[in-house]
Structure 1
Amino acid sequence: MIDITAANFEIDVLQASATTPVLVDFWAPWCGPCKSLGPVLEKLETEYAGRFILAKINSDDEQQIAGMFGVRSIPTCVLMVNGQPVDGFMGALPEGQVRAFLDKNLPSPEQLEAEQEEDEAQQALEAGDTDTALEKLQHAVATDPANDDTRFDYVKLLLQLGRSDDAKVAFAPVIAKAAAIRRLDSLQRWMDAIDASENADLGALDAAITANKRDFAARFARAQALMAQQQWTDAMDELLEILMRDKNWNDEQARKTYIAVLDIMEPPKVAVAEGQIPPEDPVIATYRRRLSSVVLS
């Protein structure tokens, strides 16, 4: 529990909520219901063991902050996430209702554990330790199966390591919804490319393209073979050749596959200082511009 004044509001509420949800409790010494709610909140903060921070603001002493939040009666509780209010309640709710409010808005212990595993996996990757990264990602997926972003990273790493059979097993639980979720669809297109290129003859494809530059089936097969070999820019160059000649070929397969390659090339998101935007990979930025130029022309 933290007592909040104008002096520490910025750091202990706004900035702190970027990493851990902060429950702000507006109270006053004369408020009877506040005296019954306060111990409930303090008990739950201890019980939830770091899933949220309790910040108490004396609304009599900090009228400016109370005014910022439009507090008209107390007790009023506001949950802050990433510096913004996301939910709240008024009145001295019983413990069961406060618990339900928290469970609705806070990440579960399983989600927090999975996030930690994901962070450790990315650190392992940066250090070149793919074995540890795979182990961490596998555990994160098992802990929080509904986290599609973690599953994307796990399947992607398996494919990068050439373990396509294991990737398909890890992908199977989400295959039914892959078409509706772009990043999952991108993984599906990569796996399709690997399957399609098993017996590809690049020499024969090159010959077919030389004979007919509008042999889009051959160009697409060549792009898939390049994807299977993880030659991403070469694959996009081939897809651009299709797009420059026929943007809508085969239900826009070239454009959709090009976007899939960009998704796959995108590096994992890493933490950056507050207010900063991580720089975009210059190769990805270039190929995004090329796609826009061709599609919008």
Structure 2
Amino acid sequence: MIEITIENFEQEVIAASLSQPVLVDFWAPWCGPCKAIGPILEKLETEYGGAFKLAKINSDEEQQLAGAFGVRSIPTVVLMKNGQPVDGFMGALPEGKVREFLDKHVQALEGDEDEEQEALPEEPAGADPAAQLEKLQHAVATDPANDDSRFDYVKALLLAGREADARRAFEPVANKASLSRRIDALARWLDALSFAAGSPSAADLDAKIAANRRDFQARFDRARLLLAQQRWTAAMDELLEILMRDKAWSEDLARKTYIAILEIIEPPKPKVAEGQVPPEDATVATYRRRLSSVVLS
């Protein structure tokens, strides 16, 4: 069990859930039902032998995180897998019901290993970057007017470090940047890479910011460096520092760049049953709410 704050949320919840289910318990010291279910969750974390990780968030102290998850009452328990919330419940359920909930999503490690191995063969093909790039390249070649396919292809090339290929693939849609948010996002990413190629000094930028916290150009340049390094959340944090002090700085440049990063990092929506709404990526949801709270304040 680990206590979660806004500082360690991304590492201990989002990143951790990529390799292991994370059960997030929103609680508060004054909440009676929280005191009832808390020990049950801790007990089951031990009994399930590491099949899931328990993360506790004090909703009084971490209101930003509670807001990001849309918590309306406590206790609220959310199960995270692959960086996304997949299920949850509210209230102090009895231990048997909590076990039923967990058994839908996790399996105690002392269980049958054959079932786990059956799922493994599917992973290599889906995870092969070369195969994915070939598939995306084929989609663009088949339908050059499909901007969504082109966005996915250029994004994959940039993530793979193939900047020159990405620029060639982007060129046919470069003039659409003012019309499409996704194309604009790619244009800003490529601009950040061009800026970083000029070898600006991060230390100089940090010194300028330390000397004058309202040196928005230095902050924006630092955000561009972070974007070029694919340090998404750090770049958005820097842009938020600008927005908190001047929402419309440089013709909305900070806000537009922030939105571009959200477009870049938002994963494809998973398939769900008809009538259901797919869960939103937790990091995207958190930073979208942070932007709204600053812009609308």
Q: Compute the TM-score of the two structures, normalised by the length of structure 2.
A: 0.57
The 1:125/1:230 distance shift into structure 2, 3 A limit, reads: farther
Counterpart code for 1:186: A
**What is the distance in 2 between the residues matched to 1:252 and 1:131?**
37
The 1:173/1:284 distance shift into structure 2, 3 A limit, reads: same
1:185 aligns with 2:184: yes
Counterpart code for 1:187: L
Alignment of 1:254-293 (within 5 A): 254-293=254-293
**What is the distance in 1 between the residues matched to 2:227 and 2:125?**
23
Q: Is the 8 A contact 1:223 1:238 kept in 2?
A: yes
Runs ≥4 in structure 1, deviation > 4 angstroms? Answer: 123-126
The 1:167/1:273 distance shift into structure 2, 3 A limit, reads: same
Q: Is the 8 A contact 1:189 1:260 kept in 2?
A: yes
The equivalent of 2:63 in structure 1 is none
Alignment of 1:34-73 (within 5 A): none
Counterpart code for 1:166: D
Q: Is the 8 A contact 1:124 1:132 kept in 2?
A: no
1:89-123 CA-to-partner distances (Å, cap 9, x unmatched) read xxxxxxxxxxxxxxxxxxxxxxxxxxxxxxxxxx9
CA positional deviation for 1:200: 1.9
Pick which of 184-193 and 268-277 moved more: 268-277
The 1:125/1:273 distance shift into structure 2, 3 A limit, reads: farther
Q: Structure 1 vs Structure 2: percent identity of aligned residues? A: 64
The 1:219/1:267 distance shift into structure 2, 3 A limit, reads: same
Alignment of 1:170-249 (within 5 A): 170-198=169-197, 199-249=199-249
The two structures, once aligned, show a CA RMSD in angstroms of 1.5
1:60-101 CA-to-partner distances (Å, cap 9, x unmatched) read xxxxxxxxxxxxxxxxxxxxxxxxxxxxxxxxxxxxxxxxxx
Counterpart code for 2:214: R
Q: Is the 8 A contact 1:216 1:242 kept in 2?
A: yes
CA positional deviation for 1:174: 0.6
CA positional deviation for 1:271: 2.0
CA positional deviation for 1:124: 7.9
Q: Is the 8 A contact 2:125 2:131 kept in 1?
A: no
**What is the distance in 1 between the residues matched to 2:177 and 2:167?**
12
**What is the distance in 2 between the residues matched to 1:232 and 1:128?**
21
**What is the distance in 2 between the residues matched to 1:241 and 1:201?**
20
**What is the distance in 1 between the residues matched to 2:259 and 2:217?**
18
CA positional deviation for 1:176: 1.1
**What is the distance in 2 between the residues matched to 1:154 and 1:231?**
20
The 1:273/1:126 distance shift into structure 2, 3 A limit, reads: farther
Counterpart code for 1:167: A
Higher Rg: 1
1:116-163 CA-to-partner distances (Å, cap 9, x unmatched) read xxxxxxx98983200000001001000001111010000000111111
Counterpart code for 2:144: P
**What is the distance in 2 between the residues matched to 1:278 and 1:230?**
26
Q: Report the secondary structure of 1:179's partner residue.
A: coil
The 1:126/1:181 distance shift into structure 2, 3 A limit, reads: farther
1:241-289 CA-to-partner distances (Å, cap 9, x unmatched) read 0000111111110000000000001002332211111111111111001
1:201-246 CA-to-partner distances (Å, cap 9, x unmatched) read 1111101100010111100000000001110000000000000011
Q: Report the secondary structure of 1:127's partner residue.
A: helix
**What is the distance in 2 between the residues matched to 1:129 and 1:229?**
22
Pick which of 193-202 and 125-134 moved more: 125-134
Q: Is the 8 A contact 2:209 2:219 kept in 1?
A: yes
Q: Compute the TM-score of the two structures, normalised by the length of structure 1.
A: 0.57
Query: What stretches of structure 2 of length at least 5 have no aligned partner?
Result: 1-121
**What is the distance in 2 between the residues matched to 1:219 and 1:125?**
40
How many pairs align? 175
**What is the distance in 1 between the residues matched to 2:145 and 2:276?**
29
Q: Is the 8 A contact 1:197 1:221 kept in 2?
A: no
Q: Is the 8 A contact 2:126 2:132 kept in 1?
A: no
Counterpart code for 1:195: S
The equivalent of 2:146 in structure 1 is 147
